[in-house]
Structure 1
Amino acid sequence: MADSFLILAQAGAGGSPLGTFGFLAVLVAIMYFVMIRPQQKQLKEHRNLLAGLKKGDDVVTSGGILGRIHQVDDSTVTLEIASGVRVRVLKTAVSAKGTVPVAGAPAAAPAEKKEEK
């Protein structure tokens, strides 16, 4: 049994360097398309989100604070999180724009199904 492992090890060790290089190139390509490219796309979308912030937009910060933009500066945003309560956060802390459903809040009524006769 030990002889069969020795034979398999010797057969695998004599592979061509071109095959090894090709295997490494395929691994790098897979890593690019699985990890690097999606991260770059997400970063580009976040930059576009930050560039499009304006007064009156509803946003969510990375800390989970929901608020409406009261003022936009170069690097900060002033959010109104309650009536008369304003906080300043970094622009980079804004993670989403638009109305976000809050847990525990009543959901929209589902559309009624019409009965077929």
Structure 2
Amino acid sequence: MNIYLQAGGDIFTSGFFMLAMLAVIVFTMIIPQRRRSKQQKNFMEGLTKGQRVVTASGILGIVDKVEDKIVTINVGNKTYIQVTKNAISQELTNAIYPPKTEG
């Protein structure tokens, strides 16, 4: 009879361990990814003319025109390229052109 109780206890502890691992995965991977996704979406919606940006492929430029899903970027000497909004990276832009801090 003692053997059956041990097996029941093992099932409970292994189930608890699996739930704990799932919680760790959710809090360390899924929630931060959703937060970054929301920040990137807000960044893309807030693009304005004259803003310095970097595309995901590393092209530097200044926003010249923002249409629905297309952004025209001045890359220098009156040279313009058109990219989709989702090609502009907030992380790279903030790395090269840090946001101005007040203070």
TM-score, with length taken from structure 2: 0.79
Query: For structure 2, which runs of at least 5 residues remain unmatched after alignment?
Result: 98-103
For the pair 1:37 / 2:31, whether they are aligned, the reply is yes
| Number of positions where the alignment pairs a residue of Structure 1 with one of Structure 2 | 90
Q: 1:107 is matched with which residue?
A: none
User: Residues 1-117 of structure 1 correspond to what in structure 2 (within 5 A)?
Assistant: 14=7, 16=9, 17-96=11-90, 97=93, 100=96
- Higher alpha-carbon Rg: 1
One-letter amino acid of the counterpart of residue 40, structure 1: R
One-letter amino acid of the counterpart of residue 47, structure 2: L
CA RMSD across the alignment: 2.0
Q: 2:100 is matched with which residue?
A: none
TM-score, with length taken from structure 1: 0.70
**In percent, how many aligned pairs have the same letter?**
32
Shift of 1:83: 1.6
The structure where helix makes up a greater share of residues is 2
Query: For structure 1, which runs of at least 5 residues remain unmatched after alignment?
Result: 1-9, 102-117
One-letter amino acid of the counterpart of residue 27, structure 1: M
